[in-house]
Amino acid sequence: MPLEAVEARRLYRQVADQLRSLIDSGEYAVGSRLPTERELAEQLKISRPTVREALIALEVEGRVRIRVGSGIYVIEAADAAAAPAAAVIEGPFELLRAREFLESAIAEQAARVATKDDVARIDASLVAMENVEHPGEASMVHDRAFHVAIAGSLGNAVLVRVVGELFDQRLNPYFAQLAHYFESPGTWRTALDEHRAVRDAIAAHDPDSAREAMRKHLARSQERFAQNFGAETAAAASSAGRGRAERHQAKPATPKRAAKKQAKKQVKSSSARRR
């Protein structure tokens, strides 16, 4: 059963459904390795982040296992009752793109209207972020407080609630699984520096810089989550190794090389007769 092209407007759930059907039909047997993210994106004619969201969904469902540096493997199906309801979970990249659009505009306006008290609340969240271990629940609490504090400077309860609710989607199992692969103390320090850039632009009442700093922060968050699992590098190396072996086996002996081999045989034969 060949893969079918998926329209770009479709979300990761349709991709996961199609891959799941291929697994159920035996196209990809238990223990086999799926094509790489790049290959799947090319076959399905969709973006790689959408493929990644689909693969993460299947891993959470217990249908595949992602092995960093090796590939994505089909595993024995887990208990279907334990899988989350895909229809009510948004994809991690969808959420980050939505936040990038919304919170950039909020940061821009915050730079226009933020008071000293608003900046003090933002500063308090940054201090808390500096003194917490990551990844962990506490770091997420303080990260959320930072983004909510910026929204709060606009004096709009609806925006505060929306920003908080969007951030809380990081707690969904798909986002948590993706973060498991890529979040570390190092990425936390990088994100903290990005947060400080947003804070400084707001405190300086520079709307353009505040908007751009927030946009960069959330765009780079997407980039961090989109890093290569390493499977493609391994697959390329394996393919190159096979190619070298095939070329070595298929390489015919040139007349010059054949003559040298024959001469060596004759020398050995002559030496043996003299002994």
pLDDT tens digit string along 126-159?
999 998 888 788 899 999 999 999 999 999 999 9
Q: List CB contacts of 129: < 8 A, sequence separation 6 or more.
A: 139, 142, 143, 146, 192, 195
pLDDT at residue 176, rounded to an integer: 86
Q: What is the pLDDT of residue 32?
A: 95
Give the integer Cα–Cα distance in Å for 148 and 138: 15
pLDDT band at residue 165 under the 50/70/90 scheme: very high
- pLDDT one-digit tens code per residue, 185-213: 899 999 999 999 999 999 999 999 999 99
pLDDT tens for 48-98 read 988 999 999 999 999 999 998 889 999 998 665 455 555 557 788 989 999
Average the pLDDT over 34-59 and give the result: 91
Task: Tell me how far apart the alpha carbons of residues 55 and 106 are, in angstroms, rounded to a whole number.
Answer: 32
pTM: 0.74
Q: What whole-number distance in Å separates Cα of residue 232 and Cα of residue 242?
A: 15
- Rounded Cα–Cα distance for residues 201 and 110 (Å): 10
- What is the rounded average pLDDT of the residues 26-52? 92
- The pair of structure tokens assigned to 194 is 């990005």
First-to-final CA distance of the chain: 68
Q: Which amino acid is at 100?
A: E
Indicate whether 264 pLDDT > 70: no
Residue environment code for 2-32, b if the CB has 16+ CB neighbours within 10 A, otherwise e: ebeebeeeebbbbbbbbbbebbeeeebeeee
Confidence label for 36 from pLDDT (cuts 50, 70 and 90): very high
- Cα separations in angstroms, 161 against 39, 127, 178, 271: 40, 23, 25, 93
pLDDT at site 132: 87
71's enclosing H/E stretch is strand 71-74
| 273: pLDDT strictly greater than 50 | no
What's the gap between Cα 20 and its chain centre? 20
Identify which of 185, 168, 172, 211 has the alpha carbon closest to the alpha carbon of residue 91: 172
Whether 49 contacts 80, CB under 8 Å: no
Q: Taking the C-alpha atoms of 116, 122, 125 and 131 in order, what is their torsion angle to the nearest 10 degrees?
A: -80
Mean pLDDT over 8-22 rounds to 81
Does residue 174 register a pLDDT over 80?
A: yes
2: preceding bond cis by omega (within 30 degrees)? no
| Contact residues for 136 (Cβ-Cβ < 8 A; gap 6+) | none
